[in-house]
Chain A
Amino acid sequence: MSLLAAPPATVKRPIMQPAVGRVLQVVKETHDTFTLNIEPPPGDPVARFRPGQFSMLYVHGVGELPISISGDPECHDYLTYTIRSVGQVTYQLVTRQPGECIGLRGPFGTAWPLTEARGKSLLIVAGGIGLAPLRPAIYHVLRHRGDYNRLVVLYGGRSPRDLLYRKEFAAWGMLPDTQTLATVDYGGVSWRGHVGVVTAMFRHVRMQPDETVAMLCGPEIMMRYAGRELESRGIPASRIFLSMERNMKCAVGFCGHCQMGPYFVCKDGPVFPFTQIKPYLDLYEL
């Protein structure tokens, strides 16, 4: 039985076809992590994103991967990605030279609830590379500072040399109504900051749980424990959000790889309210 033809959309790039972006700059953040600025085609919708969303980045001859956007959502001249070199595609991405082209699809997925969080305090809990998808949310809050109360950024990393955006992070901590705390699992002799897991930082946070929205991104174990801990400290699960990671090949719900129980992480996520994702976080090998 034939289908009624859908009204043709305005000229639109096929969903699996990347736009061509040009590498403007590659900045080394840590020994294995780099930040790339990519210039999209002028006026291309690929550059209009909401904090928390991701793109599919493609390297010719190598492949395609989902990478969170880590730059300023109000900058449309280039897109920023912070990438940890852990495999073939990420290695090829971070070793691009300015001027080279890569493919971009997106943006995809759900965003941090920044509209809903207006008038409230924000508690940002990041672990490792998880600070990258949260940075656009921080930029948004800093640009619209009057819309929010306190901003607290907790950041856990493996060791001091693994921490991202260190100068920027220190600068955020100097701003009024802003508190930043970084902690590492392994501190060297010269590290004068906190040593311990990020959940141990909650006791040092100055904010009211009843008017706080928490946004979490990091290793799944960290988010699971942090989510529970925040709940026990009075932040309701409905105001805790976390960003999930799963294997993604298409980013639009066709490939099936990112399924997590009833959800397709690529389009139902990556940002989920804790209430929604909590029942599935505890199921091993779901």
Chain B
Amino acid sequence: MRRSFYRLDRSGLSLILDQLKHRGYTVLGPKACGNALQWRPLDCLEDLPGGLSTLLAPAQYRLQTGSETCLFGNPGGLDSIKAILHPPRQTITTIRKAGDQLEISQETPPAAKLAFVGIQSCDLAAVAALDRVLLQNGEADEVYSANRANAFFLSVHCTQSGPTCFCASMGTGPRAKAGFDIALTERLEGEQPEYLAEAGSSLGAKVLEEAHALPAPPEWMRQSTEATQKAAEAQTRKVNRQAARAVIDSTFEHPRWEQTAKRCLSCGNCTSACPTCFCVNYEEQSSLDLASAQRVRLWDSCFTLSFSYIHGGSIRLTPKSRFRQWVSHKLARWQDQFGVTGCVGCGRCIVWCPAAIDITEEFAVLEQAAGSAVTAGGSPHGH
């Protein structure tokens, strides 16, 4: 569709939120909660973390007071929306025993109408990746479909990059290319931020028009592109994604896996923080009288020993093999399975790894070993 561009000030943005609520959406956005930015229902723009900034480094996350007045800074410092679309704990079926019969009832989640305000390009790419797994992979996951089907994405292009971001090299940011209904560029010229709003869907355009948004000055578009380009250029971490499959394929036995696995705690933080890790386990939870049982779906992690267990033992016995499975899946096997990369370059695994294991650093070592150290991982925009 042809994209239209609008300008919004703070009250205009506020009006958009009201529009969404009026249309029956539960509006969610990043909120400072438990010393981190997490997705929570938004009442008003004041709920957004204006004046707060995240300090990110390997194995380090701090939420601190900043001086800026922008509402949507903090690239890479925001929780992913995976926990909302693909909940960490979900009852799937309830099975009751009645005599020698079994009565099975499906716990169908209610169809949700969720609007995500402030979602970044890496996370839009992550949603597209999850769509491939949970919607377009033969069967459709019922829980994910229910949460996903009516989702509205009011995204924000990143005009700054976090120190752990590498979306530019993964081709997923910092500018959102698709998947949004409205994409904002936050502009800080005066005292209060202003917004360039770009409709990405007819619904997005409609919402903007209903908020009586005015057309944006043409130079705003150029400035927005320049700003995201600058953010891309500022990224110091990268993964050569074009070479990723070949590198992973040729380094299966490389000693680096073992060296790094010695630091790895197999804690699974990376898989929890990762916006595309989708693995789950199904557990049986019985009532005390054993009359009723529930099949409960829980997030699982390929870092656990039981993940690959078959009669006789676990396939991936060593932390090395589990670490290798995770990295290989993210950077290479996902391509084979779903045609897209499983890593969107959000950098969360780097931040949340207690041992400060950095996937980009690991890849660089393997790439050098594979002897295919091609420089560019695509242009900064990942075209």
Given A1-B180, A103-B102, A252-B139, A257 and B279 contact (CB-CB distance below 8 Å): yes
B181 contacts the other chain (CB 8 A): yes
Given A2-B150, A63-B284, A257 and B100 contact (CB-CB distance below 8 Å): no
Q: Which of B102, B152, B320, B321 lies in contact with A2, CB distance below 8 A?
A: B152
Please name the residue on chain B nearest to A285 by beta carbon: B321
| In the complex, chain A residues 83-100 whose Cβ is within 8 Å of any chain B Cβ | 84, 86-87, 99-100
Q: Are A60 and B151 in contact (CB-based, < 8 A)?
A: no
A62 contacts the other chain (CB 8 A): yes
By a CB distance below 8 angstroms, the chain B residues around A2 are 149-152, 181, 201, 203
B374 contacts the other chain (CB 8 A): no
By a CB distance below 8 angstroms, the chain B residues around A262 are 333, 336-337
A255 to B320 Cα, complex, angstroms: 21
Q: Are A285 and B302 in contact (CB-based, < 8 A)?
A: no
A205 contacts the other chain (CB 8 A): no
Q: How many A-B residue pairs have CB under 8 A?
A: 139
Q: Are A3 and B135 in contact (CB-based, < 8 A)?
A: yes
Q: Mark A2-18, 1 if CB is under 8 A from B, else 0.
A: 11011000000011111
Number of interface residues, chain A, beta carbon within 8 A: 45
Please name the residue on chain B nearest to A256 by beta carbon: B279
Q: Are A99 and B100 in contact (CB-based, < 8 A)?
A: yes
**Chain A's nearest CB lies how many Å from the CB of B94?**
10
Please name the residue on chain A nearest to B329 by beta carbon: A259
**Chain B's nearest CB lies how many Å from the CB of A261?**
6
By a CB distance below 8 angstroms, the chain A residues around B179 are 1
Q: Are A1 and B151 in contact (CB-based, < 8 A)?
A: yes
Q: Can you list 23 A-B contacts with CB-CB less than 8 angstroms, sorted by A residue number?
A: A1-B200, A2-B152, A3-B135, A14-B142, A17-B93, A60-B95, A60-B102, A63-B283, A63-B284, A64-B295, A87-B311, A103-B102, A247-B310, A249-B280, A249-B282, A250-B280, A250-B282, A254-B133, A254-B137, A255-B279, A257-B307, A285-B321, A286-B252
Which A residues contact B (CB, under 8 angstroms)?
1-3, 5-6, 14-18, 20, 58, 60-64, 84, 86-87, 99-103, 245-247, 249-250, 252-257, 259, 261-262, 264, 267, 283-286
Which B residues contact A (CB, under 8 angstroms)?
92-93, 95, 97, 100-102, 104, 106, 108, 131, 133-135, 137-142, 148-153, 179-181, 200-201, 203-204, 252, 278-284, 286, 290, 293, 295, 300, 302, 307-311, 315-318, 320-321, 324-325, 329, 333, 336-337
